[in-house]
């Protein structure tokens, strides 16, 4: 299940295509004309905020000859123009100008069926999600997320978060290894001895397609032990458990989102093959924190600790993958009960159980 391409294709068909996937923060496309591009499940996507204020997702492929409408990771524009033949679309994806079709007026162009192909998209508490499977059989976004928004996102005020660092890279490991390592604390005493240390957690009560654990502490987990009283103040207006600790959540199948009292970060795992995983990492703070005079100085300590933990998990998942071709079935110990639940969910989807 960690090396076989046939099993991997079944995971893509039964889990990844039918899922809603995180695309980015709404604050990254805050004004009309703001856009960002990304690739999910090998699909080039373009996320843009329209003149009407709505966030939409399109396949980043011109309807003329298929070239990307833009290859810029982000930016602002008044319209969407393909660099190949200058076919131009409105911010809502409607074809407005098409060299080679000069005989058609704007209204006629809009009726040719050559508008940008739209992808189902939704925004919940500042988090943008897209669906890349069959729209006819897709669950609604709210049904997919279940009680995640009310339990985690809204209490942590994720809509106020602004991305300050993002990067993407590929690991030589199966995607499940990286998701599993997010959901257990047994390894933190060994792999993260100097960066996390002991981090007791309890299981979150989840409904829908997410699994999470909760760590109660007045101190941020996003700084090194010994520095956790030197961070930014808590986000104003946090409520319930959000005010008392941190949620570590997997929005299934592969989006890991950590919402602390002062910071939010994610490690998104998108499989390229059975043994290669594309990883998208992002760090974000509330807009009010970015306005602080000491932001540049204090944030360096967050980046140092967050980068260290990500690099440690990168290393151990690639290291683990090296032994799996020759391995016999392993086991779960009691401290890995959340991993056991996660893996059973995966089996249920792939084998269509339940």
Beta-carbon contacts of residue 239 (< 8 Å; ≥ 6 apart): 155
For the record, the structure tokens of 43 come out as 């699909």
Its CATH class, for the domain covering 157-350, is: alpha beta
Beta-carbon contacts of residue 123 (< 8 Å; ≥ 6 apart): 26, 55, 129
Per-residue model confidence as pLDDT tens digits over 232-246: 999 999 989 999 999
For the record, the structure tokens of 170 come out as 């590929």
* Contact in structure between 132 and 67 (CB atoms under 8 Å): no
For the record, the structure tokens of 268 come out as 């998104």
For the record, the structure tokens of 264 come out as 């939010």
Rg (CA), the chain: 21
* Contact in structure between 232 and 298 (CB atoms under 8 Å): yes
Tell how many helices (H) and how many strands (E) occur in the chain. 8, 18
* Contact in structure between 171 and 314 (CB atoms under 8 Å): yes
Give the pLDDT of residue 293: 97
For the whole model, what pTM was predicted?
0.95
Cβ-count burial 164-196 (b if 16+ within 10 Å, e if not): bebeeeebebbbbbbbbbbbbbebbeebbeebb
Residue ranges per structural domain of the chain: 19-138, 157-350
Query: Closest Cα partner for 9 from 272, 254, 327?
Result: 272
Report the alpha-carbon distance of residue 246 to residue 7 in Å, rounded: 34
Report the alpha-carbon distance of residue 226 to residue 228 in Å, rounded: 6
Which one is the CATH code of 19-138: 3.30.565.10, 1.20.1260.10, 2.60.40.10, 2.102.10.10? 2.102.10.10
For the record, the structure tokens of 190 come out as 């060994």
Residue 120: is it exposed, middle or buried by C-beta count within 10 angstroms (0-12/13-18/19+)? middle
pLDDT tens digits, the chain, 354 residues: what are they? 999 999 999 999 999 999 999 999 999 999 999 999 999 999 999 999 999 999 999 999 999 999 999 999 999 999 999 999 999 999 999 999 999 998 888 888 878 889 999 999 999 999 999 999 998 888 999 999 999 999 999 999 999 999 999 999 999 999 999 999 998 887 888 788 777 767 788 999 999 999 999 999 999 999 998 888 889 999 999 989 999 999 999 999 999 999 999 999 999 999 999 999 999 999 999 999 999 999 999 999 999 999 999 999 999 999 999 999 877 778 999 989 999 999 999 999 999 865
Distances (CA, A) of 189 to 192, 193, 198, 276: 6, 5, 6, 27
Any bridge partners for residue 203, and if so which? 213
Give the pLDDT of residue 5: 94
Report the alpha-carbon distance of residue 257 to residue 248 in Å, rounded: 6
Report the alpha-carbon distance of residue 87 to residue 96 in Å, rounded: 8
């Amino acid at each position: 299940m960690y090396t076989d391409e046939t099993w991997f294709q079944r995971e893509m068909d039964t889990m990844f295509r039918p899922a809603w996937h995180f695309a980015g923060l709404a604050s990254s496309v805050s004004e009309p004309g703001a856009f960002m591009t990304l690739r999910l499940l090998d699909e080039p996507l373009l996320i843009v905020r329209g003149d009407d204020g709505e966030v939409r997702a399109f396949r980043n492929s011109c309807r003329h000859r298929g070239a990307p409408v833009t290859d810029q990771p982000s930016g602002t524009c008044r319209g969407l123009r393909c660099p190949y033949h200058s076919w131009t679309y409105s911010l809502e994806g409607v074809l407005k100008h098409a060299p080679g079709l000069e005989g058609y007026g704007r209204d006629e162009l809009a009726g040719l069926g050559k508008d940008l192909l739209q992808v189902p998209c939704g925004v919940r508490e500042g988090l943008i999600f897209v669906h890349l499977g069959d729209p006819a059989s897709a669950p609604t976004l709210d049904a997919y997320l279940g009680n995640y928004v009310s339990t985690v996102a809204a209490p942590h005020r994720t809509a106020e978060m602004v991305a300050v660092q993002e990067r993407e890279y590929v690991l030589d490991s199966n995607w499940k290894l990286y998701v599993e390592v997010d959901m257990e604390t047994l390894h933190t005493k060994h792999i993260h001895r100097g960066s996390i240390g002991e981090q007791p957690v309890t299981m979150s009560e989840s409904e829908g397609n997410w699994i999470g654990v909760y760590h109660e502490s007045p101190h941020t987990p996003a700084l090194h032990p010994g520095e956790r009283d030197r961070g930014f103040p808590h986000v104003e207006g946090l409520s319930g458990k959000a005010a008392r600790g941190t949620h570590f959540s997997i929005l299934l199948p592969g989006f890991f989102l950590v919402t602390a009292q002062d910071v939010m970060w994610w490690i998104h795992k998108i499989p390229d093959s059975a043994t290669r995983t594309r990883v998208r990492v992002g760090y974000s703070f509330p807009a009010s924190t970015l306005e602080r005079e000491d932001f540049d100085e204090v944030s360096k300590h967050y980046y140092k600790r967050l980068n260290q933990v990500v690099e440690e998990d990168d290393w151990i998942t690639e290291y683990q993958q090296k032994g799996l071709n020759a391995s016999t079935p392993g086991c779960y110990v009691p401290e890995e009960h959340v991993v056991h639940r996660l893996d059973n969910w995966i089996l249920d989807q792939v084998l269509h159980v339940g």
